[in-house]
Homo-oligomer: A and B are copies of this chain.
Amino acid sequence: MDLYQKDVVSIMDFSKDDIEGILDMAEEMVPYAKGEKIKRSLDGKILGNLFFEPSTRTKLSFESAAYRLGCDVIDVSEMSMTSMAKGETLADTIKIVDAYCDVTVLRHPYEGASKMAAKFSDHPVINAGDGAGSHPTQTLLDLFTMRQAKGSLDGLNIALVGDLKYGRTVHSLAQGLTKYGMKISLVSPETLKMPDEIVQHLTENGCSPRIRTLEDAVAEADVLYVTRIQRERFPDPSEYQKVAGVYRIDNALLQNAKDDLIVMHPLPRVNEIAPEVDKTHHAKYFQQAANGVPVRMAILNAILGGEM
Contact = CB atoms under 8 A, between A and B. Distances in A.
A293 interface: yes
A68 B82 contact: no
A70 B99 CA distance: 18
Given A40-B44, A268-B86, A76 B96 contact: no
Interface residues of A, number: 51
Contacts of A40: 44
Contacts of A100: 60-61, 63-64, 290, 293
A83 interface: yes
A-B pairs with lowest CB-CB distance, top 3: A56-B79, A99-B290, A88-B268
Interface of A: 35, 38-40, 43-46, 54, 56-57, 60-61, 63-64, 67-68, 70, 72, 74, 76, 78-79, 82-83, 86-89, 91-93, 95-96, 99-102, 228, 231, 267-271, 275, 286, 289-290, 292-293
A96 B267 contact: yes
A275 B90 CA distance: 12
B64 A96 contact: no
A64 B45 CA distance: 10
Given A40-B44, A57-B96, A74 B63 contact: yes
